[in-house]
Amino acid sequence: MASPPYTLYFGTFVHLPREKSGLHHELAIHRGALWVSNDDGRIQGVDWSVEGHGGLLALVKSKGWVVAGTNTSEYGFSKKPRVRIVTADEEKNEFFFPGFIDTHIHAPQYPNSGLFGTLTLLEWLQTYTFPMEKSFQDVHRARTVYKQVISRTLANGTTCASYFATIHVPATNLLATLCKQAGQRALIGRVCMDRVDEATDYRDPSTEASVALNRDVIRHIHAIDPHGDHVQPILTPRFALACTEDAMDGLAALAADYDPPLHIQTHISENKNEVAAVEAIYGMSYADVYATHGLLTPRTILAHAVHLSDTEKATIAARGAKVSHCPASNSALGSGLCPVRSLLDAGIQVGLGTDVSGGYDASVLENVRQACLVSRLYRHTDASITDDEAQRLVLSVGDALYLATRGGAAVVDLADQVGGFDVGMSWDAQLISLGEKVSGETKGGEENRVDVFGTEDWGEKVEKWVWNGDDRNVSAVWVHGKLVHRREGLERYTTCGSSWGWIWGVGAVSIGAFVALRRLRG
């Protein structure tokens, strides 16, 4: 059965507008309808004035559509375009939210999630990370891990991720193929690291190879996804301590060979000892190393940026490079408290990264929380910060959700494509369900761990989701308008056997709409 040409989403929509008026980003909360063309997966229109099922059906009628699945004699032979309806159920405190964008995640490190002991960055790399990555010469192992990473990140609402893979071409190509198959947007980077490190045998065989091996990956990705709708290559010099100057120059030249230039990602200024080592080797600041070697471009993602000087921030802003803020990782490895507000003040675009497995959790939502927490603790790094200044540094829930959506979209150079519910954007979205409100009957966490008591407004419900939500609240995930994940439990709502039929029942209320429609006609 062909998919209907339109999908009409109905219920509460929450996103972050592109613009803000004051210090903080404020949630935009709409109740109404939004429709997507299933040809290109883009949002064709919104109508926030639609109320109730009557309003919904009036909208359908005014558009000249007919609801898919209503194959009664009245509709069976209609030539009108069919529309599928997906409802966010108000009783279950459901809402649509843009998909999360994870701007920094090391896919092969996923099996090490939570394993870092009491180590800091440089020791942790040698002890946990390099041995794990090295094992990805085994493509079978890579397949098991990468499938799980994609499954987990989708289940956490990550519709787009910028992945570091390993140095291995076959496993990196496999990661791209698996993302494409799963329908997740992804930037895929083969890790480049040619600087000889006596402590590890995990490195590129030569500087030439460190650059040239990327061509195989680029070719593969362009072959499986010529328009880059899902997967794109991203050049990935690991960090200044792991790359030679020739390799950095070569990668910068390789990026510029393409139109538009290829994406680039690396690490910067994560840990003070690392910063000192970089300055000792190169005789210049960390940002200047990358600037000198052509790696600071408008399509560059710099992970961490915890200890940048004001001069470095200005350099990065001037080149238009972007930052991936990874608060869970920075706290776990004790790297430091990133002053996000100062990066934003400098005019740098910032997104969030899970940085698995320096970060212990593949969930962007966990990093929304950690971004809020770190911004509240930052004042304690400097006794001279006044109460007023401290308050300005704080990221609100809205600010952190902006970083997780619009901010991340800018970081992966998709600001006009994803991150919000603007007309023309791709329907990359999550259906969040907080569950029914607490009544006399208690629940002990089986369904999810957010408790709505019924007195909360929608802004407060979103705050509760941010602070206590997890993958259990992610009922469904779409990329390019296509369903790419749904919670297993939702099978109980399935109302027909066709491949897309379950969607009908996501909110269960759509059944009500169906019945209401028939009543309307009757």
Phi, psi of 106 (to 5 degrees): -95, 100
Q: Provide the minimum distance between the beta carbon of 445 and a copy of itself in the complex, in angstroms, as a whole number.
A: 4
Distance, in Å, from the CA atom of 205 to the CA atom of 12, rounded to the nearest integer, reads 54
Concatenate the DSSP letters of all residues of 7-67 into one string: EEEEEEEEE--S--SSSS---EEEEEEEEEETTT-BEEEEETT--HHHHHHHHHHHHT-EE
Contacts with a copy of itself in 402-431 (CB under 8 A)? none
Cis amide leading into 260 (omega within 30)? yes
Structure tokens of 346? 């400098």
Phi, psi of 101 (to 5 degrees): -120, 115
Is residue 24 a contact residue for a copy of itself (CB under 8 A)? yes
Is residue 110 a contact residue for a copy of itself (CB under 8 A)? yes
Q: Which is nearer to a copy of itself, 416 or 451 (CB)?
A: 451
Out of 53, 304, 319, 472, point to the residue binding a copy of itself (CB under 8 A): 472
Element (H, E) at 263: strand 263-268
Is residue 181 a contact residue for a copy of itself (CB under 8 A)? no
Distance, in Å, from the CA atom of 277 to the CA atom of 200, rounded to the nearest integer, reads 18
| CA atoms within 13 A of residue 10's CA, in its CB half-sphere | 32
203 in Cβ contact with 167 (< 8 Å): yes
Out of 384, 488, 492, 497, point to the residue binding a copy of itself (CB under 8 A): 488
Residue 396 DSSP label: P
Q: Which is nearer to a copy of itself, 422 or 471 (CB)?
A: 471
Closest-CA residue to 154 (of 512, 483, 497, 440):
483
Q: Are strands 82-87 and 66-67 parallel, antiparallel or unpaired?
A: parallel
43-51, 208-216, 459-467, 504-512 -> range binding a copy of itself (CB under 8 A): 459-467
Distance, in Å, from the CA atom of 44 to the CA atom of 6, rounded to the nearest integer, reads 9
Out of 47, 249, 436, 470, point to the residue binding a copy of itself (CB under 8 A): 470
Q: Provide the minimum distance between the beta carbon of 259 and a copy of itself in the complex, in angstroms, as a whole number.
A: 37
Is residue 258 a contact residue for a copy of itself (CB under 8 A)? no
Is residue 20 a contact residue for a copy of itself (CB under 8 A)? no
Q: Provide the minimum distance between the beta carbon of 4 and a copy of itself in the complex, in angstroms, as a whole number.
A: 26
Number of chain positions touching a copy of itself (CB under 8 A): 72
Q: Amino acid letter at 227?
A: H
Sign of the four-CA dihedral 69, 45, 24, 351: positive
Q: Which is nearer to a copy of itself, 72 or 181 (CB)?
A: 181
64 in Cβ contact with 81 (< 8 Å): yes
Q: Provide the minimum distance between the beta carbon of 362 and a copy of itself in the complex, in angstroms, as a whole number.
A: 8
Q: Provide the minimum distance between the beta carbon of 394 and a copy of itself in the complex, in angstroms, as a whole number.
A: 5
Closest-CA residue to 234 (of 316, 142, 163):
163
Structure tokens of 242? 């792991």
Q: Which is nearer to a copy of itself, 332 or 411 (CB)?
A: 332
Residue 391 DSSP label: H
Distance, in Å, from the CA atom of 411 to the CA atom of 298, rounded to the nearest integer, reads 9
Out of 64, 226, 283, 445, point to the residue binding a copy of itself (CB under 8 A): 445
216-224, 281-289, 346-354, 447-455 -> range binding a copy of itself (CB under 8 A): 447-455
Q: Provide the minimum distance between the beta carbon of 138 and a copy of itself in the complex, in angstroms, as a whole number.
A: 13
Q: Provide the minimum distance between the beta carbon of 240 and a copy of itself in the complex, in angstroms, as a whole number.
A: 21
Contacts with a copy of itself in 117-176 (CB under 8 A)? 117-118, 143-145, 147-148, 150-152, 154-156
Question: To 5 degrees, how large is the angle CA 451–CA 483–CA 150?
Answer: 80
Contacts with a copy of itself in 25-64 (CB under 8 A)? none
Is residue 394 a contact residue for a copy of itself (CB under 8 A)? yes
Contacts with a copy of itself in 307-336 (CB under 8 A)? 331-334, 336
Is residue 294 a contact residue for a copy of itself (CB under 8 A)? no
Distance, in Å, from the CA atom of 232 to the CA atom of 220, rounded to the nearest integer, reads 10
Q: Which is nearer to a copy of itself, 258 or 467 (CB)?
A: 467
Contacts with a copy of itself in 348-387 (CB under 8 A)? 360-361, 363, 369, 372-374, 376-377, 379-381, 387
Distance, in Å, from the CA atom of 404 to the CA atom of 419, rounded to the nearest integer, reads 8
Out of 468, 494, 495, 498, point to the residue binding a copy of itself (CB under 8 A): 468
205-213, 288-296, 457-465, 495-503 -> range binding a copy of itself (CB under 8 A): 457-465
Q: Provide the minimum distance between the beta carbon of 482 and a copy of itself in the complex, in angstroms, as a whole number.
A: 16
Q: Provide the minimum distance between the beta carbon of 292 and a copy of itself in the complex, in angstroms, as a whole number.
A: 29
Is residue 438 a contact residue for a copy of itself (CB under 8 A)? yes
Out of 455, 492, 497, 522, point to the residue binding a copy of itself (CB under 8 A): 455
Distance, in Å, from the CA atom of 218 to the CA atom of 205, rounded to the nearest integer, reads 19
Distance, in Å, from the CA atom of 460 to the CA atom of 279, rounded to the nearest integer, reads 46
Is residue 263 a contact residue for a copy of itself (CB under 8 A)? no
